[in-house]
Structure 1
Amino acid sequence: MSIPVVTVGPAQEAVVGGLEGLHGPVTVVRRCSELAELMAVCQSGLAMAAVVAEGCEELTTTLVDRLGAVGVSVVALTDDPSEVQRLHSIGVIAAACGVEPSTLAARIAEAVGGERTRGRLGTGQDAAFADAGADPLPLPDSGTAEDAPDGSGRVFAVWGPIGSPGRTMVAVNIAAELAAEGQSVLLVDADSYGASVSAVLGLLDESAGLAQACRLADQGLLDVSALKAAAMPVFLKGGSFRVLTGTTRADRWTELRAAALSVVLERAKDIADVVVVDTGFCLEADEELSFDTLAPRRNAATLRSLELAEVVFAVGTADAIGIPRLVRGLAELEAAVPQASPRVVLNKVKKAAVGHAPKQQLAEAWDRYGPGLGIEAYLPADPAACDAALLSGSVLLEVAPESELRAAIAKLVCASVQQKSHSSGRTTRARRLLKR
């Protein structure tokens, strides 16, 4: 079967003409003058591959992902070695400008075959740019030892339903507890509605580290050094961790594209033993009614973070309002991210809201009305310690080390680590338990 191809750029007429002269493996169905026209043609379903003979420097992760959404593979012509490496990092196959038509046809077939293997060809609207549930773009191998992924990092996502269940408080203190145990930790604020990690930690940051990292990822320029530069250090008495701060304004959510965030989180696993992601609350597949089915989605950052997480902590408030919200939210989570296995955390446990023996009553109510998941942890309410931490821009480990809340969070992290550990059974530090 001949592969329908569209091209862009008048500079390589000889190459395009050579493709047309092959009369076999590929068929040039349209010549475009610019990338915008090529995008429109590809979205109409006319092509399975695109040859960018001019303007490859304008290709980004987002554009490639949009083309992949409609089953179109991309081959770019360039003689610049650095540009070849960048294109490779965003999922584009590169070829020399003077490539023979038969060789170019073989590269096109290779690109289309790769799309078929990944199962993305013909997915239509089910793309990471429009659908946060789509498969992320694979990261290629890097040519430097520093950037080579080792796959050792793990992703912990902290999610909770609408309201104020304490997602950020839990995420920040999980990061602090792991850092105090000697782990390298990266805390990511991926809440596209109300990013607040920088405020909780007292960071005067206006650069939005996560948005900066996503922009670099979109351009295929995010390496280990760039990611470290985008992350702010936070120092504790017993260690330190890095933070990718969230967007500084709510209207900047469009900068957190699913495809770019996938690259950021994969790169983050190369520089940190544990990546802790503070997510948003909303799980709706938004923009479904938009005429532009490839439009960016506000909840893509949350959904993609949950998809890539090995551990999902579902945080809910332990009261008559928070528990029903959590039950409904867990049902939505199962529908939106079926592969997630959330670990339920009930926060702000107190007698005043539940009654005598709050843990027992919560457990009985959860067994009767809950979704069938066990409760992983009960975090006691400690407003004095939380207020002191917020006032000083610090964590519970430093302002209230003897707090029962701090102890419960530390135990929660250790328990989740032990379930994944393959150690011999002797007591070890969290680094040996987390490093696999």
Structure 2
Amino acid sequence: MSIPVVTVGQSREDLVGGLERLHGPVTVVRRCSELTELLAACQSGLARAAVVAEGSDELTASLVDRLTAVGVVVIALTDSTEETVRLTAIGVTAAPAGVDSAALAGRISGAVARWASPAPFQVRDSGFADTGAAIRTVPEEIDAVPGEPSGSGQVITVWGPAGSPGRTLVAVNVAGELAAAGNSVLLIDADSYGASVAGMLGLLDESAGLAQACRLADLGQLDAGALLKIATPVVLKSGMLRILTGITRADRWTELRATALGVVFERAREVADFVVVDTSFCLEADEELSFDTMAPRRNAATLRSLELADTVYAVGSADSIGVPRLVRGLAELEAAVPQASPKVVLNKVRAAAAGRFPERQLREAWERYGPSEGITAFLPADGAASDAALLAGSLLLEAAPDSGLRQAIADLVCAPAQQKRRSSVFSSTAKRHLKG
């Protein structure tokens, strides 16, 4: 069976004529004058392979991922070693510009066969973050970063429903507790509606580190070294963490494409023991745009962060408004990302809002609502400690180390921190649990 192919540009010889003279392996169904015409032809279902003889520098990971989603593999012709490495990283099959027709036909057939029989590795994907399949990049050789892990980092995503349940407060201080326990930590602000990690830590940042990383990932140029250069280091009294700051305006959400984010998370796992992600509340999947597979997804950053997470903390306010919102949000989360298995965290626990013996009252209310997930942790309201940390642009473990809120967050993360510790620096809570 002949493979239908579309082409763009010309090689040193007559590319189309050479492929057609083979009479069998492939059939050129359209010769395109530019890449946009080639994309339109592929989107219409006309071809199974696209050969880019000129203009390979315009190919990005997001574009290749969209073509892969409609069953089209991409083969690009180039004589540049650097370009070959870049193309391979974004999922393109590269071939020399002067390749003969028979060899090119063989590469096309091989690429189509590999697409039909994907590698065992599959990115966990609900399908809502992006219409395309998450790109599978080819492992590349990178210089090892002394003292850093390689590819085994755990992704912790902090999510919560609409309102102000304290997602960023929890994410920032979870990252701080893990870093203080001697782990290498990368904190990512993936809130595409109101990024606030930089502000909470007193960073005057206008560079939008996550957007920079996504841009490099889309071009196939993001490696571990580049990610470390982009991330902002924050030195703590005990330990250090790195931060990929969020977008500076909500209208920049189009820069956070799902495919690029997937690559960023892959690289983040290589440079950190723990990757802590602060996300937005919204889980809508833009179904009204599903006909347009080239359109970016408004909530791709949140959905992809949840899809790729090893642990999800679902944070809700412990009051008569926050608890029902969290219950409804958990149902939406299960529908959008079935594999999430969130750990429920009730924040701002106080007797004034939940009644006498608030934890017992909240457990009883939770049982009445009937969600399948149990409550993992209660975080007490501590406005004075939170205000002190915000005013100082620091973490609770530095501004209010003895506060009940800080101790509760340390309790929440102390078990994984102990398992991955790299130094003797522990909070008093972690030490207490070790003895127990």
TM-score by length of 1: 0.91
Partner of 1:102: 102
1:245 positional shift: 0.2
Say if 2:46 is the partner of 1:43.
no
Which residue number corresponds to residue 241 of structure 1? 241
Query: Which amino acid is the alignment partner of residue 264 of structure 1?
Result: V
CA contact (8 A) 2:316 2:326 kept: yes
Mean CA deviation greater in 311-320 or 362-371: 362-371
Aligned to 1:146: 144
Deviation digits for residues 226-256 of structure 1 (CA, Å, limit 9, x no counterpart): 1111110111100110000000011000000
After superposition, give the CA deviation of every residue in 1:285-342 in whole Å (9 maximum; x if it has no partner).
0252465343101100100010110000000000100011101100111110111110
Q: Which residue of 1 aligns with 2:413?
A: 413
Contact 1:313 / 1:342 at 8 angstroms: preserved in 2? yes
Residue number in structure 2 paired with 1:315? 315
* Residue 137 in structure 1 maps to residue 155 in structure 2: no
| Residue identity in the other structure for 1:93 | T
User: For residues 21-40 of structure 1, what are the structure 2 equivalents within 5 Å?
Assistant: 21-40=21-40
In structure 2, the partner of 1:267 is 267
Shift of 1:282: 0.5
Q: How far apart in 2 are the matches of 1:333 and 1:75?
A: 38
Aligned equivalent of 1:433: none
Distance 1:145 1:225, change over 3 A: closer
Displacement of 1:132 after TM fit?
2.9
Check the 8 A contact 1:283/1:332 in 2, yes or no: yes
Counterpart code for 1:213: A
Q: How far, CA to CA, are the matches of 1:10 and 1:291 in structure 2?
A: 32
**What is the rounded CA distance, in whole Å, between the counterparts of 2:186 and 2:129 in structure 1?**
26
Q: What SS does structure 2 have at the residue aligned with 1:314?
A: strand
Number of the residue aligned with 2:208? 208
Matched residue SS, 2:246: coil
- SS of the equivalent of 1:195 reads coil
**Residue 149 of structure 1, CA deviation:** 8.8
Distance 2:240 2:417 in 1: 19
Report the TM-score, using the length of structure 2 for normalisation.
0.91
Map residues 381-420 of structure 1 onto 2, 5 A cutoff. Answer: 381-415=381-415
Q: Which moved more, 1:281-290 or 1:41-50?
A: 281-290
> Contact 2:208 / 2:248 at 8 angstroms: preserved in 1?
yes
Using a 3 Å threshold, how does the CA distance of structure 1 residues 417 and 375 change in structure 2: closer, same or farther?
farther
CA distance 1:12–1:37, shift in 2 (3 Å): farther
Would the alpha carbon gap of residues 198 and 163 (structure 1) be closer, same or farther in structure 2, given more than 3 Å must change?
same
| Residue 127 to residue 81, structure 1, CA distance change in 2 (3 Å) | farther
Q: What amino acid does structure 2 have at the position aligned with 1:72? A: V
How far, CA to CA, are the matches of 1:132 and 1:173 in structure 2? 30
**Secondary structure of 2:327's partner?**
helix
Deviations 1:40-82 (A, max 9, x none): 1100110111000001011111111111121110000111111
- Percent identical across equivalent pairs? 68
Structure 1: state its 5+ residue gaps. 120-125, 431-436
Contact 1:10 1:33 in 2 (8 A): no
Letter in 2 for 1:142: E
Q: In structure 1, what is the Cα distance between the partners aligned to 2:63 and 2:263? A: 14
Deviations 1:131-158 (A, max 9, x none): 4375421121113343899321110000
Distance (whole Å) between structure 2 residues aligned to residue 58 and residue 290 of structure 1: 24
Letter of the 2:140 counterpart: S
Per-residue deviation at 1:417? 5.8
In angstroms, what is the RMSD of aligned CA positions?
Answer: 2.3
Contact conserved, 1:133 with 1:304, CA < 8 A, in 2? Answer: no
Compute the displacement of 1:104 (Å). 1.0
